[in-house]
Each structure stands twice: as structure tokens, then as C-alpha cells.
Structure 1
Amino acid sequence: MKHWKCFSKASVTDVLKPDKPCSGKDHKVHLSNTVKGTAVQQTNKDISAQRIQRAWLSHMDKTIFQLLKHTIRAAELRVTHQILKEVSPLEAELVKDPSMKCKVRFRFSGETFPPVIVFKIFLHTEGHGYNYFSGKKFLKPSSEAVADACKIMGKRRFCHQVMEEERFFQKFKITDEIDIVTLQDYMQYSSLLDETPASYGGRNNYWRKLNLKNIPRTMIIYDIVHYAESGIISHRLQKEMKYLLQKPRTEEMRKHQLRIVSEARCPSSFPTIQPLYGPYQQQSQIQHLGRRSKRAQMKVEKMKKAYKMAKEKNASVGTEPQTDTSHTKQKKTVIFSSPSSDIMKVEPMSDEELKKEEKELFAWCQGLCINSSPSY
């Protein structure tokens, strides 16, 4: 019995006693390590996604910039007159005149990407210089023309002109030829003349923005600028993009790329494709292109029938001839009826029919009076 008791105690002790006791503190540490590992994995995924996104956006920006470079080169070398004709037809005629020796320059401008395209007209005189006539140069304070100008313009407008010139001087410091000392001053003065309106003595020849409406729609230049502004690419640009993005190996390849960009094409091929990074469309704007159910088809058929019936009714009311204001009655008989119009036969009514109709109308009016009489 003693041996049995000892054996049973030993066995119970061996079963209940674990090899490595696990405390609550160790369990908490294990859970915290698991949570930290999951958070680190999620952070790594976010970082990887951000890297992929930045790389993709950088690739798209490079693509757009390369296409815009082709645009300004083609605009400056091949289609200057066509673009300037859309902006200002008078200036286009002056630029086209070979005696003027004008040159139109296109540049990028703007503080954000994608940049905007600006242009400016330069006049080359081959070192001979040119004279620019303005009232500010000729109307000196010591001349009598200033007093005459004050009488013609009026004191209020003349004083406003003088105050505006003083404001220009306080802001830019170099607003007249007397203020020029160095070459830098001359460049600043020339730039100010270009930006100043002609009414204040300037040339009014500044860098102007090239809008999408100023570009002919028959050229791929229009598709490139539209793609840079809205992110929507057209079919014809998508077809030529692979070739346009290649680095030109020869001069012939570069000219061919410019020819593709500036070539006038049929304006009918303008369906567009939404890119992968385009704006999100709401559920209500998405068109379902799949098959409709039988119930939906029946509903559409009912709506079509109701629309046709209403249309026929309106057409019959619109085509019905106006009744004569004379005392003679006419009898109308429908001979042929169609959805758009009715052919009716009009016959004058006889005296007997008129009397019969008058009696029926009188009886009907009496019935109305009897029914509407108040009960006491």
C-alpha cells in the first residue's frame, strides 16, 4: 500500500508540474512583439507603395515634359503663323511680312508643373536699332504740348497719368532713359517697356500665355497641351507617343518628329481615353455596358410607348385647324390619321342639324342647373 501511494503521488506530481512555467509577463511580451512586427510590415508596405507612386508620377512628368518640348519646337519652327493667326490676325500679318524681320519665341513659364507655354514677338534690326515713338517721350514738361494735352484729356485723367508715372518710378526706380547708368539698368528698362501698356509709354510687348483655344485642333500640338492640362490622352496621340518619346538619333528623325506633331490631320478622330491616374468617377456617372434584364427592357418599352403617345397627341393638337369665329357651323370628319398629322373633311352643317345640336346643348345646360340648385 505504501508503495502504491508513493507511486500515485509521484505520477500526479509529474503530470501537474510543467517543464517550463510561463508567466503573464512573458505572454504580454510575446503579444507586443507580434503587434510591433505587424506594424513594421504595414509601414514597409506603405513606404514601398509611396516609392512606386513617386516613380510612376516622375515617369509621367518626364513624358509630359518631353512632349511639351516637341510642342514648343514645332510651334517655333513650323506652325508659328498658324498659331499667331489664332491669337491676333493683325500681328500674324506683320510677322509674315519679310521686311519686318520678326521672330516669335516660345518658352515655358509658371511656378508649378506642368508649365504653361508663353510667347513673345522680337524684332531683329541687325544692329541698326529702331525708333519707338510714344507720347511720353515727346510730351516733355517744358513743352507747350503738355498744357494742350491737359486740356484735351481733362484735369482728372491728366492727374491720374502723372500719379501713375510717379508710382512706376517709386516701384521700379528705372523708368526713363535718364535713369540708365549700367547695362543691367538698360536691360531692366527694356523689360519694363515691354510689360508697360502703350497708354503709359510702354511697348506692350510682354510674354503672353498660349491658351488651348489658340491652337488648331487639327494638330497633335492641341492633344499634347490638352493632355498636359487635363490628363486625358487622345487616340492619335497614344498611337504616336512611343515614337515621339524616343531620343532622336539623327537630324532626319528629329525633323520627322516635329512634322508629326505639327501635321494637320482630320479633326474627326477625337475620341479620348481616360488614363489610369484620372479623376475618380462617381457611381452615378458610370455607364453600365452589360445586357439589360427583361424587366428593365419591358420598362423601357413602356416608357417609349408613353412618349410616342404623348408626342402624337401634341402633334394632333398642333395640326388641328382653328375654328371659325363666324356663326356658321362646320362638320369635321377624319378621313386619314397618322402619328404626325390627320387629314380631315370639313362640311357645312344643315339647319336641321344645327337646331338639333342647339336643343341638345340647351337640355344639357338645364340638367346642369337642376343638379347644381341648392337644397332647402
Structure 2
Amino acid sequence: MRPSRARRASAWLALLSGMSFTSSLWAQPTPADKALAEGLFQDGKRLMDEGKLEEACPKLAESQRVDPTVGTLLNLAVCHEKEGKTASAWAEFKEASALAASAGQQDRAQFAARRGSELEARLTRLVLEVAQPAPGMVITLNGKELSATAATGSGIPVDPGTATVEARAPGKQPWSQQVTLDPGPSTTRVTIPPLADAASSAPATALSPAPPQPAAQARPEAAAPGATGAGGNPMRTLGFVAGGVGLAGIGVGAVFGILTMQRAGDVEAGCSGNFGCSRADVEANESALTTAMVSNIAIGAGLACVGAGVAMVLMSGPSEKAAAAERVWIAPSVASDGGRVTLGGRW
């Protein structure tokens, strides 16, 4: 075997067996480890003799992991060969041959070398080809990482069955493919296509500002001086309130004025006789004076409120409501015979 080919074979052996070429001298298992490994070995050997390979091989593999020995490794290789895992068995025979030779166990070394050579002619191989290598590309075979440069173009010994090939690289979308591998001797080629660029995180789309809402057409009163809103004018409202209070006061004064005139008539009729004014007439006169005073105060206050209300409405400026109010007006006046209120309008 040429040196380069030997180095390549050693690399595949390390990959497939999952072990380094170590001797039992490097490991220092405890007595408990040795006891556990021996028990596992005995169980695995018995199960293999019974043909229960799916149970035997894992026990032998665990025994080898706990306390590595050439004998256990040889039995594990035989178990894998019977199970049909030719690549695993080939790697284990090669490793056992090297370990036995270093330990001076020539018989075992020759036996393992011969069995390894026989299996090499029956290996199933997988050839990987990369259509377009990407920086930092990593290729894995059944979860085990391979060097993209070393793995491509070479026939990798693999166990027959189903294998999963995966490829990934920074900034690229991962790629994977399952491959069915027939028992050897056979060679299967798998081409890894150019990896697609990873979908970049789309920047958040800026929300478009909402279109400005058209300004509502101002009503006439909204543009009027002193207006505080589209719905009304505080001064105008206060003016109408004052006017209403004034009208109510005038109404009260008118009622008391009528009572005053009635009682004054009664007093004048009672006191015009020969006997003078009676006590009832005196009390009626005092009551008339009181109602007259109330009437004067109510009418005066009412007129003042009406006047103030009219002034506030006029000062608030024209509006739709004011225009409506102009259709009806109140005109208070004072004459020598008393006060009056004139109500007018147009329709």
C-alpha cells in the first residue's frame, strides 16, 4: 500500500470506528471497570454464539469502551461482520491488527490483518462530490463531521443500509439527503449541489404614515370671533341663560304687580267710607306694599338680566344659532306707568 493511501485508510479507520489507536497500557481502568467490562464481554460473547447479534454487538462495544483490549476488539469486529456492518468490522480488524502487533501478539495481528483484507474487497463505498464548495462548509455523514476537502472525491467505506449526508456553511441554507447503500462491493456517488443563500432577515417594513385627514369644513360659527369650538359659544350660551333668568324674573314681577294692584283696589274701596280704614284694610295695604316691592325688584332684576344676556349674545358675534335667535327678539322698556317687555320676530 502506498504511503498516501495508507494515511487515507487510517483516517477512515479512525472515523468509522470512533476510536483512536490506543493500547490498554494507556488506559487505567479501575478494578470495578475491569469487572464490568468482563461481565459485558461474557454476555456479548454468549449472545453472539446464540445468534442474537443486535444485543451482542452493543455489549461488546461497551466492554471495549470501559476496558479496551485486543481480544474484545476482535470479537466486536467479528460480531459486526456477522451483522453485515462490513465497514465497521473492517475498521475494527485493522485497529486490532495494529494493537496486537504493538503488543507483540503476532498471531492475533496476522489474523486481524487477514480478515481486514478480505473485508476490504467487499466494502460498500460512498463518493461525495461538491458542485460548488462554500467557505466554511462542513459535511457530515450519519452525524459525524467530515473534512470537506478530504471527504470529496474519495470512496468512503460505509456500512450498507441508509446513510444521511448533510452539508452546511455560514450564510447558506443547510442541505441533506438520505442515501440507500447496497451491500458491496459497490460504490455510490452523491453530488452536493451549490448551497442556496440563507434567507436574510427582512428589515421591518416602515409603517407608512397615515394620510392626513382632510380638515373639516368650518361652519360659519367656527370662524366667528370668540368661538371656542364647532359646537357652541360659551358667551352666547351664558347670554341666553341670563336672558332666560331675566324673563323669569320679569314674569314673577308681573305676577306680584297684579297682586299689588288688586290689594291696592281693595284698600281704596275699604278706606273710602265714613268709618275710615279697618284693621283688615291696613293689613291689606301693608301686603300691597310688600308685593309692590317684590314686583319692582323682580322686574328690575329681570330687565337687568335680559339686558346683560342680549349684550353677551351681541358681543359673541354672528352664528347660525344667533341667526336663528334673530328671528325672535325681546325689547324691554320702562315708561312712567311701569315697565313692559315686547316680544317680536319674523317668520
Give the helix-richer structure, 1 or 2.
Answer: 1
Shorter-normalised TM range: under 0.3
Using CA pairs under 8 Å that are at least 6 residues apart, name the structure with larger relative contact order, 1 or 2.
1
Give the strand-richer structure, 1 or 2.
Answer: 2
When the two structures are superposed, what TM-score results if normalisation uses the length of structure 1? 0.18
Structure whose CA Rg is larger: 2
